[in-house]
Amino acid sequence: MKILILAATLIGAAQGWAAGPAPAPAAAPDAVPKAYKANCALCHGVNAAGNKAMAKAFKLEPAAMDLVNGDAAGKTEAELTQIIAGGKGKMPAYKKKLDQDQLQGLARFLVSLRPPKAASKAAPAK
Ligand code: HEC
């Protein structure tokens, strides 16, 4: 539940920025982690290793929603950007909600969260 409240708070915060004349969120150094928390953490977990309850709700293997181990860890930044932009299965498309910089920033952020061993070789899906 805590995460839901956190996500809701952050979504509220993100909408506040979008409405105001304040500097673009992309300019802030923590804009990408914030965008991740606001848009993605609910389904993929704060650490991007997947939200098991969500996987169950979607009737998917938890590994399908793990973005830092397994399959996703074998994808390039460009491939991740494409998935985030266009969606995949039950994953919503974000190209209308986020701009190209944000999409790419999120892909780069996901790559940066990978555990060292998963960077070169995908970990077995569990
Ligand atoms: C409503 C829940 C939901 C939200 C919100 C969501 N995703 Fe997903 N995402 C999914 C599901 C479900 C899948 C698995 C799709 C499949 O394999 O059929 C997925 C898959 C992915 C994949 C592909 C993983 C792979 O192994 O190929 C990436 C990358 C991804 N999401 C990134 C993101 C990012 C970044 C965000 C935020 C901008 C986000 N997702 C928001 C549900 C969500």
**Which pLDDT score, from 0 to 100, does residue 29 have?**
83
pLDDT of 94 strictly over 60: yes
Q: Return the best residue to mutate from 88, 106, 111 for the ligand 1 pocket (most ligand atoms within 8 A of CB).
A: 88
Residues 6+ apart with CB under 8 A from 32: 102, 105, 106, 108, 109
Closest C-alpha residue for ligand 1 atom 40: 40
**Which pLDDT score, from 0 to 100, does residue 8 have?**
53
25-83 confidence digits (pLDDT tens): 556 789 999 999 999 999 999 999 999 999 999 999 999 999 999 889 999 999 999 99
- HEC profile for 42-89? HHHCCCCCCCHHHHHHCCCCHHHHCCCCHHHHHCCHHHHHHHHHHCEC
pLDDT of 6 strictly over 70: no
CA-CA distance, 80 to 29, in Å (whole number)?
21
Residues with Cβ within 6 A of ligand 1? 39-40, 42-44, 58, 60, 64-65, 67, 71-72, 80, 83-84, 88-92, 94, 106
Q: Which domains does the chain have, with CATH numbers?
A: 2-120 (1.10.760.10)
